[in-house]
Chains A and B, each alone.
Chain A
Amino acid sequence: MKQLAGLLALIACHAAQANEVQVAVAANFTAPMQKIAAEFEKDTGHKAVLAFGATGKFYAQIANGAPFEVLLAADDETPAKLEAEHRTVPGTRFTYATGKLVLWSAKDGYVDGQGNVLKTGDYAHLAIANPKTAPYGAAAVETLHKLGLYDRVQGKLVQGENIAQTHQFVSTGNAPLGFVALSQVYRDGRFTSGSGWIVPANLHGPIRQDAVILAKGGANPAAKALEGYLKSNKAREIIRSYGYAL
């Protein structure tokens, strides 16, 4: 009987320690988050179940009762909006990564280190993410305005619905160049392929990506643990290696 009680206690204890947490992750953060989730499980025993998608869609789903417990958004507005609507655990909102914008081409040597190709290049299309819905798209438009080039290139703009589709337009060569997220084309200090110009941070407002614990995750210790883990040095190193600033 004593043994049984001990066993039960052990099981209960184990259950309390290892939990699952449902995480909604912005599409641009897919690769680093997969890596972080694997480390998170190894280090804490908690399992992060990841769903990837567009932040606007996550907002609509969360507002309509989706079972997400943590949101890693592509912007800082959506988490703030959710907080104002009392759909989050107050005081848990923080910036987990700051995105960097890059003018990128799949062709080697097409984009120079100063981005002069924007002015001089003979290109039919310039791909950006939809500025209305994607923070990277808004930053691209801001950059073009700052450079005084917006009116000149406006007729050449093609919009991807999100930054993943924009990357597809450029990587397949249908658009010779485009503004994408550095995290899509960069690993450990260099471009994985093609050529690019990392847009200086003073040409657009910071692309802050905020995370927040949602109301559904309030009682889940794994949600709290993940929040802490994202702030750890180990996670920050992974985030930085994908070309995000912190």
Chain B
Amino acid sequence: MTPDAADFAAVRLTLELATVVTLLLLAIGTPIAWWLARTRSRLRHAVGAVVALPLVLPPTVIGFYLLLLLGPNGPVGKLTEALGIGLLPFSFGGLVLASVCYSLPFVVQPLQNAFEAIGTRPLEVAATLRASPWDTFWSVAVPLARPGFLSGAVLGFAHTVGEFGVVLMIGGNIPDKTRVVSVQIYDHVEALEYAQAHWLAGGMLAFSFIVLLALYTLYPQAMKGRR
């Protein structure tokens, strides 16, 4: 058996999801990482720990709490309903939100390490040349932290493609809307359709390997930034 239309729909949906999530993660993760790298606030340890939570929590825990938070009795669910957005679970928007939470550390940590690696000196030099903090950030910090952005984006994208437990719980397995590749593979395996499962699973393995290989080969320094 070769992949069918449902398999390709799952692949397309997964790539869409990973793209949206990666862009959002760069937008949200950059200020968080910058703050974590620069601040002396006592709060930084707590914020750092919250960001890292998805690394250690099992996806079922994250998925279950998201389901409670976003549900009609949860605070976020009440908010989205009041705003007229409706409830987020079982929608693409819900998947995006869940994936952003779940993949956050994979973007924030490489960025934070890259920002920390710059040190204070280049920024002080920029300040003596009368560059504004905003200008310094864009003209000095961002170019110097490029390997961090690259590894953060790649890891965030790849991790979103590979996530399973959370999307399964928040998504509700709806064709074209929330049924991503990892869920489709799970379905095939559970239904003992091993041939179709191999197509997708093998493809995912190859994709992940190639992405990581490219990253390590082209930008070996990108990965050194990670602890």
Chain A interface residues toward B at CB < 8 A: 54, 56-57, 59-60, 124-125, 127, 130, 132-133, 157-161, 165, 168-169, 172-175
Contact string against A for B residues 140-170, beta-carbon threshold 8 Å, 1 for contact and 0 otherwise: 0000000000000000000000000000110
Q: Judging by beta carbons under 8 Å apart, are B172 and A160 in contact?
A: yes
Contacts of A130 in B (CB 8 A): 173, 187, 190
Nearest CB of chain A from residue B164's CB, rounded to whole Å:
10
Q: List 11 A-B contacts (CB under 8 A).
A: A56-B191, A59-B192, A124-B86, A124-B87, A127-B172, A132-B191, A133-B190, A157-B174, A158-B174, A160-B173, A174-B71
Please tell me if B189 contacts chain A, counting CB pairs below 8 Å: yes
Interface residues of B in 41-100 (CB under 8 A from A): 64, 67-68, 70-73, 86-87, 89-90
The contact size tier of chain B is: 20 to 34
Lowest 7 A-B CB distances belong to which pairs?
A158-B172, A56-B190, A133-B190, A159-B173, A173-B72, A174-B89, A174-B71
Alpha-carbon gap, A54 to B192, bound state (A): 12
In the complex, A60→B64 CA distance in Å? 26
When C-beta atoms are compared, the residue in chain B nearest to A77 turns out to be B192
B35 within 8 A of A: no
Q: Are A168 and B73 in contact (CB under 8 A)?
A: no
Q: How far is the CA of A159 from the CA of B174 in the complex (A)?
A: 7
Find chain B residues with CB under 8 A from A175 CB: 90, 172
How many Å lie between the Cα of A59 and that of B183 in the bound state?
A: 19
A133's closest neighbor in chain B, by CB?
B190
Residues of B within 8 A of A (CB): 64, 67-68, 70-73, 86-87, 89-90, 168-169, 172-174, 183, 186-187, 189-192
**Chain B residues within an 8 Å CB radius of A158:** 90, 172-174
The answer to whether residues A174 and B72 also contact, given A158-B173, A159-B173 and a CB cut-off of 8 A, is yes
Q: How far is the CB of A162 from chain B (nearest CB, A)?
A: 9
The listed residue (B172, B183, B192) touching A169 by CB distance below 8 A is B172
Indicate the member of A57, A60, A165 with the most B CB atoms within 10 Å.
A165
Residue of A nearest to B183 (CB): A161
Is the beta-carbon distance between B72 and A125 smaller than 8 angstroms?
Answer: no
The 8 Å CB contact of A125, one of B90, B173, B183, B191, is B90
Chain B residues with CB under 8 Å of A57's CB are 189-190
Distance in angstroms between the alpha carbons of A159 and B172 in the assembled complex: 5
Nearest CB of B to A115, in Å? 21
Please name the residue on chain A nearest to B179 by beta carbon.
Answer: A159
Determine how close the nearest CB of chain A comes to the CB of B197; give it in whole angstroms. Answer: 10
Expressed in whole angstroms, the Cα–Cα distance for A169 and B169 within the complex equals 8
Contacting pair B71 A132 (CB below 8 A)? no
- CA of A46 to CA of B211 in the docked complex: distance in angstroms? 52
Residue of B nearest to A57 (CB): B190
Contacts A165-B168, A168-B64; A132 near B174 (Cβ below 8 A): no
